[in-house]
Amino acid sequence: MRAVAIRFGRFHTNKRAVLNSGSLATALTCPVGHPGANLRPRSLAGCERVIECKVLNSIDVNYQTQEFPYKRSADQDATTPVRHAVVIVGAGPVGLALAIDLAQRGTKVLVLDDDYRLSTGSRAICFAKRTLEIFDTLGIGDRAVEKGVSWNLGKVFLRDELLYTFNLLPEPAHKRPAFINLQQYYVEGFLNDRARELPNIESRWRNRIVGVENNESGVTLTIETPEGAYKIVADYCIACDGSRSPIRGLIGEESKGQVFKDRFLIADVKMSAPFPTERWFWFDPPFHPNQSVLLHKQPDDVWRIDFQLGWDADPEEEKKPERVMPRVQALLGKDTEFTLEWVSVYTFACTRMRKFRFGRLLFAGDSAHGVSPFGARGANSGIQDANNLGWKLDEVLKGIAHEKLLDSYCAEREFAADENIMNSTRSTDFITPKSEVSRLFRDAALSLAKDHPFARRIVNSGRLSLPSSYPGSSLNTPDEDDWNGGVKPGAPALDAPVSVDGASAWLIDQLASDFTVITLGTASEMVFCDRGLSIVANALASNEWIARYDAQPGTTYLFRPDKHVAARWRAFDGAKVRAAIARARARTGEH
């Protein structure tokens, strides 16, 4: 049995052979100027070269101190505001991910940021498997995984006793682990390095938005700089400007929801400790009674510790080292030496904007939605926002897809935000019970958990980020055949080991940046030929692929450019594939 993958779209994909030959690789130099860097081709996104810059002496860049100077742009001297296809506001993980995605697709992007630095402090540290798969398409997957700490296991303790262990990736044979822990400044640094390789991206630092005029013909932005204000016009503006989004405020919108009455202390400490690379969560530990504590390992011997403090804690007092040090020492024992890397006290809210699209102005990431940190659903959902929007915006700008495809970004990502908020709220209600009876049931579940397996399923220390599915999306072609499992329309691709021309590979890497069809058949069945169609892999079939996709001879899956399943059939039919692609481009009814 053989499976064949074919790619639809605008790109020629025969560059794979050229790059894999190795002859081109030796001619490449490190685009960000790493001395002694060893460059190797890593993967392909469309026909863009995605190269990996691996520094041989493995000296890390200190991304927290990197500065990006303000530079005057010709736009500031223009008599009428200069027009740009896409303006992304905010060079955080979401803005950079979206910029790279668009740039790799051949669309020019202008990125504006009000600062001249990347993230300060480790902030988001847990990056989920789906995010890593997206990072692979953006060209930073290997760097992130090599630098990050991979983990699959979580442990939950009550007082000083282990209640249970959970495995977030119980099924073997996936390219990427369930999670890596990696400081946000590394993620932003890697993304920014990649962005600087791409000529389609222009970044302007210390460019702060002070005015937004959003109408049918475009979004006019007034931008404050060290040399005064200027205006530009965007065909589309994407606000990736964070939880306090100035743009959201400028258009009179809010992100509304539930604020939780609790405070948490984050202490990032540097030490060499014998703890395994697992997520450890304590309810009511002896070293921090009546509250919860979360411990995570990061690279560079840095450990993240979250202490629940309660609502009455004074955030300014709790940040002082003389308050933090004893708390950490109590956890580690009095003989463990450590230094404080970063301290922060936070409260949180589960909020979202009523909609993510306002004509030509769209919101992505924390500006659009916010969750509690338990579950790692903030940065991960923001990266998925970018992944969902990138191809859609690109195809709309190029006239390939209908403009209303952008509405599906809202439908799908608002649905995902609601799901994340629901999970995050449930976790928070368990960790911080809001009433006496809520605490009673919480403690009952914890008390039963050790000897009653069912009660472990009630214990909620955070339901960790899983990729969102879009089962009700208008872009899906509903199943018309019988399936016994597999991957449903709207769900993200499930990875599996496959064989490509006799070599071991991963299914996730076979999916192109355009629409991809994988069918369990022979090439001779691929008689219909759409524009830009080419066969990039033969003999994909593996037992894992067949099992995970409920595949039989003839089984055909159509994947969207963001690697979600658009449609599936028991037999290949070119007309049906074309109709499903039109539907996924919001072009149904035009034919």
Single residue of 115, 197, 443, 525 touching another protein by CB under 8 A: 443
Nearer of residues 458 and 526 to another protein, judged by Cβ: 458
Burial 88-111 (b: 16+ CB within 10 A, else e): bbbbbbbbbbbbbbbbbbebebbb
Q: What are the two backbone dihedrals, phi and then psi, of residue 327, each rounded to the nearest 5 degrees?
A: -65, -45
- For the bound state, the minimum distance from the C-beta of residue 456 to another protein, rounded and expressed in Å, comes to 11
User: 268, 181 in Cβ contact below 8 A?
Assistant: no
284: CB partners within 8 A, 6+ apart: 158, 159, 290, 291, 292
Q: Which listed range, 128-136, 396-404, 436-444, 579-587, lies at the site for another protein (CB under 8 A)?
A: 436-444
φ/ψ bin of 359: left (φ > 0), alpha (ψ from -120 to 50), beta (otherwise):
left
Q: Is 217 in the site for another protein (CB under 8 A)?
A: no
Q: At what angle do helices 93-104 and 129-138 cross, to 10 degrees?
A: 40
Three-state SS string across 278-343, please?
Answer: CEEEEECCCCCCCCEEEEEEECCCEEEEEEECCCCCCHHHHCCHHHHHHHHHHHHCCCCCCEEEEE
Q: Which listed range, 106-114, 193-201, 251-259, 442-450, lies at the site for another protein (CB under 8 A)?
A: 442-450
Q: Which listed range, 90-98, 112-120, 337-345, 447-455, lies at the site for another protein (CB under 8 A)?
A: 447-455
- Report d(CA 183, CA 60) in Å as an integer: 13
- For the bound state, the minimum distance from the C-beta of residue 426 to another protein, rounded and expressed in Å, comes to 15
Q: Is 448 in the site for another protein (CB under 8 A)?
A: yes
Q: Is 422 in the site for another protein (CB under 8 A)?
A: no
**Percent helix, percent strand, percent coil in the chain, to nearest 5:** 30, 30, 45
Q: Which listed range, 42-50, 355-363, 439-447, 523-531, lies at the site for another protein (CB under 8 A)?
A: 439-447
Rg (CA), the chain: 24
- For the bound state, the minimum distance from the C-beta of residue 484 to another protein, rounded and expressed in Å, comes to 24
- For the bound state, the minimum distance from the C-beta of residue 440 to another protein, rounded and expressed in Å, comes to 5
Q: Is 284 in the site for another protein (CB under 8 A)?
A: no
Q: Which listed range, 33-41, 437-445, 475-483, 525-533, lies at the site for another protein (CB under 8 A)?
A: 437-445
Q: Is 454 in the site for another protein (CB under 8 A)?
A: yes
Q: Return the DSSP state at 61.
A: P
In one-letter notation, the amino acid at residue 150 is S
Single residue of 38, 447, 543, 552 touching another protein by CB under 8 A: 447
Q: Is 445 in the site for another protein (CB under 8 A)?
A: yes
Q: Is 452 in the site for another protein (CB under 8 A)?
A: yes
- Report d(CA 463, CA 374) in Å as an integer: 7
- For the bound state, the minimum distance from the C-beta of residue 447 to another protein, rounded and expressed in Å, comes to 7
Number of shown-chain residues binding another protein (CB under 8 A): 11
Single residue of 70, 311, 441, 483 touching another protein by CB under 8 A: 441
Binding pattern for the stretch 458-477 against another protein, x by CB under 8 A and - elsewhere: x-------------------
Q: Is 455 in the site for another protein (CB under 8 A)?
A: yes
Q: Is 162 in the site for another protein (CB under 8 A)?
A: no
User: 155, 278 in Cβ contact below 8 A?
Assistant: yes
- For the bound state, the minimum distance from the C-beta of residue 428 to another protein, rounded and expressed in Å, comes to 20
199: CB partners within 8 A, 6+ apart: 103
Nearer of residues 275 and 441 to another protein, judged by Cβ: 441
User: 560, 521 in Cβ contact below 8 A?
Assistant: no
Task: State the residues that interact with another protein by CB under 8 A.
Answer: 440-441, 443-445, 447-448, 452, 454-455, 458
